[in-house]
Structure 1
Amino acid sequence: MEVFVTPRAERNFDSIVKYISSKWGENTAKEFIHKVDEIFKILKTQPYIGMVETSDIRGFQLSPQTRILYRIRGNKMIILSFFDVRKNPKKKFK
């Protein structure tokens, strides 16, 4: 399965990494990046492991604060967003 990351998800990810780096240091940010890479490997082999958010969007809890939202289209997984679960849930898909 191929993984595609939307520009929005890239911006979310970059923002999270910058925040982690400024708050807890470069090593913690690198650990987060490594964790995301490992989760992508799991999702590529088991794409339906995430919980259904809406009819065609799934979510996977990456950390207590961060959820990955994605869609499966054929043999493609499209990463839509890295969502901070502490934010307003209505903003999840906007």
Structure 2
Amino acid sequence: MDVIWSAKARITYFKVMDYLQENWTKNEMRQFSQRTEIVIRALKKNPEIFKQSEKHTNIRRAIIDKNNSLFYQVDAVNQKLYLLSFFDNRQNPEKLNLA
């Protein structure tokens, strides 16, 4: 299964990395990066492992860690996994815009 990062996924991923760099240590940055890779590998093997969004049933939410989630879509016909956005779970969910 091919993994395709949207522009928003890239931007939000690097925002998390920037935040970790400014406020935490390189160890936390490395852990977030490793957890993200582990989740993406798991998604490639079993893309439906995580729960569907209640609001958007074609979008799923993967938990990276207690503070961060990854929203993604699966195109099973074309064997593509679209990474849509990373989201800080401590934010107001109303701020989440997957469009």
What is the TM-score of this pair, normalised by structure 1? 0.92
Task: Point out 4+ residue stretches in structure 1 off by more than 6 angstroms.
Answer: none
Between Structure 1 and Structure 2, which shows a larger proportion of helix residues?
A: 1
Find the aligned partners of 2:97 and 2:80 in 1 and give their Cα distance: 19
Map of 1:51 onto structure 2: 51
- CA offsets per residue over residues 46-83 of structure 1, 9 Å max, x none? 10011100220000111111111000113101000001
**1:49 counterpart letter in structure 2:** I
Question: What are the Cα deviations for residues 27-64 of structure 1, in whole angstroms up to 9, with x where unaligned?
Answer: 22012111111111111001001110022000011111
Match of 2:74 in 1: 72
Q: Distance in 2 between matches of 1:41 and 1:83?
A: 19
Give runs of aligned pairs for residues 1-94 of structure 1, distance below 5 A. 1-53=1-53, 54-73=56-75, 74=77, 75-94=79-98
Q: Cα RMSD between the aligned structures?
A: 1.1
Identity %: 26
Structure 2, unmatched stretches of 5+, are none
Number of aligned residue pairs: 94
Q: Could you tell me which amino acid in structure 1 is paired with residue 44 of structure 2?
A: K
The residue type paired with residue 18 of structure 1 is D
